[in-house]
Structure formats: C-alpha cells, structure tokens
C-alpha cells in the first residue's frame, strides 16, 4: 500500500484573528527532488475539497486555513492513486508548514495519453506536432541494431509545452537515447491535461520512451 512516507508538520502560535495557512513542500521520497505540479487538496470528512493548489517548481504549496473542522491533505497526479496525510483539526488561525515525501510509481501500464479532449478530467493528449518534433533514432545505434529504452520525468504545462527545467532522465540504456528524448521533449507540444474542462499542468512520472528497430 503506497502512502506518504514522510510527514513533518510545524505548529506555530499565531495572533487571534490572524489568517491561517497550511503550507509545505512536496518531494520525491526516493530522490528528495521537488515535485512540481502535484495537485494538493484539503479535504473535509465528507471528501469535499475546500482548497487546492498545484505545487510550484520548488515543490511548494500554500493553502488558506479552512473553517474549524477535521481535514486531511490529498496529493494526486495523473497515473497515481491519491496519497493522503493524516486527519487533523484545523481552524482559520491555524498556521502549519510541512515537508511531504511521496512514493510515486511509474506510468508504465497505467495511463495512456488521451485521444480527444471531450472529457472533464484527463491527462495530456497526444502530441500535436510530431511531424516536427518526432523522436529521432540515433543513426549510429540504428546502424548497429541497438535497441533501448529511456525513462523520464517531465512537466507538461497548461499550454501543452514541456517545462524544460522539469526534464529529468531517470535511466537510459544509452546516453544517445537519452539525448534524443531530451531533444524531443524540448520541441514537442501536447494537448494539455484537463481538470474540470480547464487546461492544467501535469507531472509525467517515469514516462517510458522505447527505441525499437521494428517500431
């Protein structure tokens, strides 16, 4: 059962009537790297979302504290089961800050790019400019009949472009394959992900790129 593997909250005394907040940083439990574009939502006991925000490039988020009650944080992104923090009592003057390390899994076999944008909530759609941004099979490796695979993390922003600074090669069977994937990601444009029919950013975690001679 996957879960939030690290949760540290700092409680601070605040003046009466001060605006409270629930804030923190979301990181990868394996690498400690910040996780951008994680949807962080504050849920009440009925499962209603009272506040939400996508994490920034440094993994940070900041939510206004809700009316007094019991809540928990929900962390979600495409291709992952939601992960939750513990239930806790919050009120408008609460000020809490924490670090949340999430154990994410790869996309392999779980999520595919959608074929149309007629849905309410969906991951990014298929590339729109493959004619100009297709992945190029390294010529030398093709001649030697070398096949391989690359796994990468990257963020697709709300316009469908890949955020260059978010590209991270997790592993590759050959450096030239990794270089080809990076060049592709810097040029490609997807249909953006949708939430409530509105374009949003999306974290693509462990996305596979396969180089096959018969492909």
The answer for residues whose C-beta is within 8 angstroms of residue 106's C-beta and 6 or more apart is 151, 205, 206, 207, 208
Return per-residue pLDDT of the chain as tens, 215 residues. Answer: 344 444 444 444 434 446 799 999 999 998 899 999 999 999 999 999 999 999 999 999 999 999 999 999 999 988 788 999 999 999 999 999 999 999 988 765 444 556 554 567 888 888 999 889 999 999 999 999 999 999 999 999 999 999 999 999 999 999 999 999 999 999 999 999 998 889 999 999 989 999 999 85
Which single residue is written with the structure tokens 């070398």? 146
**Top-level class of domain 130-211:** alpha beta
29/118 Cα distance (integer angstroms): 35
Please name the residues in contact with 118: beta carbons below 8 A apart, sequence gap of 6 or more.
none
CATH assignment, 4-102: 2.60.40.10
Domain boundaries, the chain: 4-102, 130-211
Alpha carbon distance 93, 108 (integer Å): 43
């Amino acid at each position: 059962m996957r879960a939030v593997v690290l949760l540290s909250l700092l409680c601070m005394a605040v003046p009466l009537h001060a605006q409270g907040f629930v804030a923190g940083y979301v990181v990868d439990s394996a690498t400690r790297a910040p996780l951008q574009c994680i949807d962080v939502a504050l849920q009440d006991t009925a499962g209603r979302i009272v506040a939400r925000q996508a994490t920034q490039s440094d993994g940070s988020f900041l939510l206004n504290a809700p009316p007094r009650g019991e809540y928990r944080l929900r962390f979600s992104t495409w291709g992952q089961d939601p992960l939750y923090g513990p239930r806790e009592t919050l009120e408008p003057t609460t000020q809490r800050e924490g670090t949340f390390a999430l154990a994410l899994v790869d996309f392999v076999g779980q999520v595919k790019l959608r074929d149309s944008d007629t849905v309410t909530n969906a991951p990014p759609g298929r590339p729109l400019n493959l004619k100009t941004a297709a992945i190029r099979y390294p010529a030398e490796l093709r001649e030697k009949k070398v096949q391989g695979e690359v796994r990468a993390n990257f963020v697709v922003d709300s316009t469908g472009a890949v955020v260059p600074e978010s590209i991270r090669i997790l592993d590759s069977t050959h450096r030239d394959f990794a270089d080809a994937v990076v060049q592709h990601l810097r040029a490609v444009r997807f249909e953006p992900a949708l939430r409530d029919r509105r374009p949003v950013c999306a974290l693509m975690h462990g996305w596979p790129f396969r180089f096959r001679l018969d492909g």
